[in-house]
Chains A and B, each alone.
Chain A
Amino acid sequence: MAVIHDVMPAFELFQPESAADAVTLLGRYSPNAWVMAGGMDSFDWLKDRIKRPSVVIELSRVAELRGIKERDGGLEIGAATTLTEIARSPLVRAKFSLLAEAAELVASPQIRNQGTVGGNVSQDARCWYYRAGWACYRAGGNICYADTPTAVNREHAILGADRCVAVNPSDTAPALVALDAQMVIRSTRGERVVDAEDFFIGPGTDITRMTVLAPDELLTAIRIPATWANAVFYFEKVRDRNVWDFPLLNVAAATTYSGNKIERIRIVVNAAAARPLRLHAVEAAVVGQPKSKETEERAGQLAIEGAEALRYNAYKIPLMRNLVKRAIRGQQDT
């Protein structure tokens, strides 16, 4: 197993003061450069000596990557904005409380004070076999140690597994997908904007990455359109401890109603697969339906179609079904 060492291996540290400088540095030093914002994911990798970048680009001095501002009726959030800033932002809370709620449930207050939304959505898988530095698929090897007959895989995937069974551990990611957010990505080649739903990728697409971010690209901002402003939101995170823990599963939903009927909905589950799963089949099935027990039941059943349990995570299947039912219902009581 990996051991946390006291001293990180040496690397060259850059602290740019603009996003343009950061992107230039990335262009110059990738793939041997490591981008660090809050450091909540980075320090584990670096101190465990599993990742050994020759260059670290630290973003705390890049003011333009921080802050929340209104944009076309929606919001633009700098990627280096802390989770605490998002959770407490009046702008976020006024229109997109789903994101504030998700951000507030990340880890612990100390981590939220330091951790950024960009880091939260870009963080790597939390599979301990992968993080131990063994040659698993995600690390470029040829086996998934978490998907063996004796593996400890209580937290792993029930859907979308493709050789690797690690899950995406982010709480803000499903909220952003539910809000139809867009990720602004910059590199020396220019800027591109990717829907949050397409930002996250599964192992079938690229087993060594969790997102579409290339080694020379920097996530600079997240845009939330006005589309789902002031919708009815639901976010629930299930975890082993009430603080300082990753989700066993979480669900984020944005819904609008016409009378008692569901008019529009986006519902997303995370920690069930290597990417936040938008439940398209559930959405299609419940739109136009009344908010009722039958609709909830149908949504719950549809959500778990195709789910496949590993040795220790079969509990996730009924848990996911119930979370989706609650999201449709809009409340946690059973």
Chain B
Amino acid sequence: MDFVKWGLNPWGESILTHVSWTLFWASLVAGLMFLVAHGSYMLLSAHRKRPATETDRLEATFANLPERIERHSLMARLFHWVMAAAMFTLLFTAFLPVAGVKFPWVTWHWMAGLVLTGSIVFHVVHATVWLDFWSIWVGPKDIPELKAELMRELGRDVPGPKSGKYPLGNRLYHLAIVVTALGAVVSGVLMMSRVRTPVFTRNPYLLSDATWGVTYVSHGLAGVALVGLVIAHVYFAIRPEKWWITKGMILGWITRRQYLEHHEPDRWRVTANPPAGRP
């Protein structure tokens, strides 16, 4: 099976042209298989939830916290949903024609790509200046949490650190999306110089044939990877035990109990309600 496609340029040189669309089907099937496998595991396994008594105790301790804890600001939510709309448009316009649904897709695709690029630029600035930038990243400090999460998934009742603002799964997914989406965006913006848009003057010779080949293959690899990643994301977004996270992305807040049940107050500090009578 070929993973990439090759062609000849006018100088008789063999050049990379695209990824093989077999990879799209592979990513689609992998995403769906993960969905089925994880769903089956969650149904049949003995994964552990935190005991309610522990959360009851925490709720008593942190009774001065507001009933609703803000999890995502309006701007952060707007970014997320605009990016989601752009991402779905990009994936459908890219892969429906591959799947046999033929329609003029290119204009929709690059327009959605520009929306995604704009929203990512906004997000980077917004997260850097106004949000806790490091709260979404993973690093060596997360190893104890990873171990504890894995043990719980395997059915062991272990104590261990809870997550900060973002669960470990969220942060790992964010990392994967950063790599793939940035790959798709950077290569896609370059590729826009090869199509007619009001944004760039066409310049098909911006890069050498070989570099264009790498650019197209990078775009394709990022695109097919995003198929599987987005399937996984949608799957987790609608899972019952994760619904509180999705609801938080819609409404912007979670309850105090959800905060205490899933997060480590030391790692995600929330300002308490001021005592009565004080401003």
Residues of A at under 8 Å CB distance from B? 132-135, 139-145, 147-149, 161-163, 201-202, 204-206, 308
Contacts and interface: CB of A to CB of B under 8 A. Distances in A.
B147 interface: no
B256 interface: no
A161 B104 CA distance: 11
Contact of B18 (A133, A134, A140, A161): A140
Given A147-B204, A206-B97, A134 B102 contact: no
B8 to A, nearest CB: 6
A201 B107 CA distance: 16
Given A147-B202, A201-B102, A205-B104, 18 more contacts: A132-B10, A134-B8, A135-B7, A135-B9, A140-B18, A141-B15, A142-B17, A142-B194, A142-B213, A143-B194, A148-B204, A162-B106, A162-B195, A163-B195, A204-B103, A204-B105, A204-B107, A205-B102
B212 interface: yes
Contacts of A308: 196
Contact of A140 (B7, B9, B97, B209): B7
B205 interface: yes
B199 to A, nearest CB: 15
A204 B194 contact: no
Contacts of A149: 205
> Interface size bucket, B side?
20 to 34
A133 B9 CA distance: 9
B103 A142 contact: no
What is the interface of chain A mostly: helix, strand, loop, or mixed?
loop
B17 A141 contact: yes
Contacts of B6: 135
Interface in B95-146: 97, 102-107
Looking at A135, A161, A202, A204, which has the most chain B CB atoms within 10 Å of its CB?
A135
Contacts of B7: 134-135, 139-141
12 contacts: A132-B10, A134-B7, A135-B7, A140-B5, A140-B17, A141-B15, A143-B212, A162-B106, A201-B102, A204-B104, A204-B107, A205-B102
A143 B204 contact: yes
A202 B104 contact: yes
Contacts of B205: 148-149
A107 to B, nearest CB: 28
Contact of B17 (A135, A162, A201, A204): A135
B196 A161 contact: yes
Nearest to A205: B102
Contacts of B216: 142
Interface of B: 5-10, 15, 17-18, 97, 102-107, 194-196, 202, 204-205, 209, 212-213, 216
A237 B107 CA distance: 32
Contacts of A140: 5, 7, 17-18
Contacts of B5: 140
A140 B102 CA distance: 16
Given A149-B205, A205-B102, A142 B10 contact: no
Contacts of A202: 104
Contact of B102 (A145, A161, A163, A206): A206
A137 B7 CA distance: 11
Nearest to B11: A134
B15 A135 contact: yes
Contacts of A162: 104, 106, 195-196
B102 A135 contact: no
B9 A204 contact: no
B104 to A, nearest CB: 3
Nearest to B97: A206
A271 B64 CA distance: 75
Given A148-B205, A202-B104, A206-B97, A135 B194 contact: no
A195 to B, nearest CB: 16
A261 B164 CA distance: 77
Nearest to B219: A142
**Which 3 residue pairs are nearest across A and B when measured between Cβ atoms?**
A135-B7, A204-B104, A141-B7
A139 B10 CA distance: 13
Given A140-B17, A142-B17, A163 B194 contact: yes
Contacts of A144: 204
A145 B213 CA distance: 15
A30 to B, nearest CB: 14
A205 B10 contact: no
A140 B104 CA distance: 17
Contacts of A132: 10
A183 to B, nearest CB: 16
A162 B196 CA distance: 7
Nearest to B18: A142
Contacts of B204: 143-144, 147-148
